[in-house]
Amino acid sequence: MGSPLAQEISPVPASQDTAALRRVFEAMTPERCPRVYNFHMHTVCSDGRLTPELLIQQAVSIGLQGLAITDHHSVDGFRRAQAWLSGQQLPNAPHLWSGVEINAQLLHDEVHVLGYAIDPDHGEIAPYLQGYGLRGDRGDARHVIDAIHAAGGLAVLAHPARYRHSPAELIAAATELGIDGVETYYAYNNPNPWCPSPRQTREVFTLAECYGLLHSCGTDTHGLNLLQRL
């Protein structure tokens, strides 16, 4: 007969399954984004144009296998998309992970840190989910990464080649703070059709491999099409 404690342990929600997400990131290639996976998208709950419901419907129509909504300092879009999915009876529903994009200070540069598979109700992440960035110690990248980890998630440096400091400087510094991965596949000049920028991808990929980091990808959608940034 099993112990009562063991029987009370509940499985990790799919939206917080870091083990599954880590496997996806470990096997990520540019060909898998954005029609198989997309881990950087915004809704009207921050600065995007799609409602969460329309976003998840579009993800289903594209045939995405996995995704995360990463609104700035908010998980409201994720919650609404999750509610829509749970109300459907879809035989091939995509895997929706929780996500958020958080402003942080790294080397006196403002960067964005993506938090994936977090417990959105965890107390450590709560201050970063109020719709705005934080100043002072809590706005430091170290504290942002620590909060994401405390909430059970993976921390990823978004679009590393978009800041004042070089990817080499920022990725090295973020690695020292415990970052889990980088957004390796990103289209910096918004090409149509979407494809990751070759030069930046090579540099970021090489750095990530050097530091043993995971590879993420995303369109950073702010418009009405998940396959484009704008």
| 47 phi, psi to nearest 5 deg | -120, 25
Domain with 119 in it: what CATH number? 3.20.20.140
Whole-Å CA distances, 23 to 4, 66, 195 = 32, 12, 22
H or E element that contains 57:
helix 52-62
- The tally of domains found in the chain comes to 1
pTM for this predicted structure: 0.95
Residue 21 lies in a domain: no
The residue type of 144 is: V
- Burial tier of 26 (Cβ tally within 10 Å: 0-12, 13-18, 19+): exposed
pLDDT value of residue 10: 55
Residue 224 lies in a domain: no
Residue 227 lies in a domain: no
Residue 11 lies in a domain: no
* Distance of alpha carbon 185 from alpha carbon 43, whole angstroms: 21
Residue 226 lies in a domain: no
**Domain of 55?**
28-217
10-residue mean pLDDT series, the chain (230 residues): 42 96 98 97 98 98 98 98 94 96 98 98 98 96 98 98 98 98 97 96 98 98 96
Residue 134 lies in a domain: yes
The residue type of 4 is: P
Residue 140 lies in a domain: yes
Whole-Å CA distances, 132 to 45, 54, 127 = 12, 24, 9
pLDDT value of residue 7: 40
* Distance of alpha carbon 211 from alpha carbon 61, whole angstroms: 36
Residue 3 lies in a domain: no
* Distance of alpha carbon 145 from alpha carbon 43, whole angstroms: 23
pLDDT value of residue 89: 85
pLDDT value of residue 206: 98
